[in-house]
Amino acid sequence: MSRAQKCAIQSSGPINDSTFNRHLTLSVIAVLRRIRPLKGTVLMLTDRLCVKYGQHIDLSEAATMRFISKNTSIPAPKVLCAFTHEGCSYIVMERIKGDMIGMGWVNRSEESKTKLLTQLKNMVQEIRELRPPEGIGVFSMN
């Protein structure tokens, strides 16, 4: 196991949880949630940044995105900060441009569908090839 893999697994606690980042995130959410619609648990901050937040969000998701990003070629959002405040967790991350795979699926050619499914298969295979640290099997990072 590489040093990067060990470091990524080491902690699924807060990430870049400075007082400034925390206050900025909470202030921006307080303003923007009144004028921008929430998409599930995600609030778009800018065209390139979003925050996923709520009581049922787990910081292990942020740790997992960092782990996948550092140890695979799979595109994953860059996590800028992640923290818990008053029972809610917040993950501020960059948005990855693209369309959800289901958008327009029925209108795609068989060739296009096959290409997308092959890409997904390769991503799943790459994740399955990741080796956990010695003595640890499949687990939640928290």
- What pLDDT digit, counting tens, does each position of 77-131 carry? 999 999 999 999 999 999 998 888 888 999 999 999 999 999 999 999 999 998 8
**Domain assignments of the chain as residue spans, ordered by start:** 3-97, 99-137
In whole angstroms, how far apart are CA 37 and each of 27, 54, 94? 16, 15, 18
Considering Cα of 141, then 134, then 138, then 67, what sign does the dihedral take?
positive
Q: Looking at domain 3-97, does it have CATH number 3.30.200? A: yes
Q: Which of 103, 105, 82 is nearest to 94 (CA)?
A: 82
pTM value is: 0.80
pLDDT tens-digit map of 43-75: 999 999 999 999 999 999 999 999 899 999 999
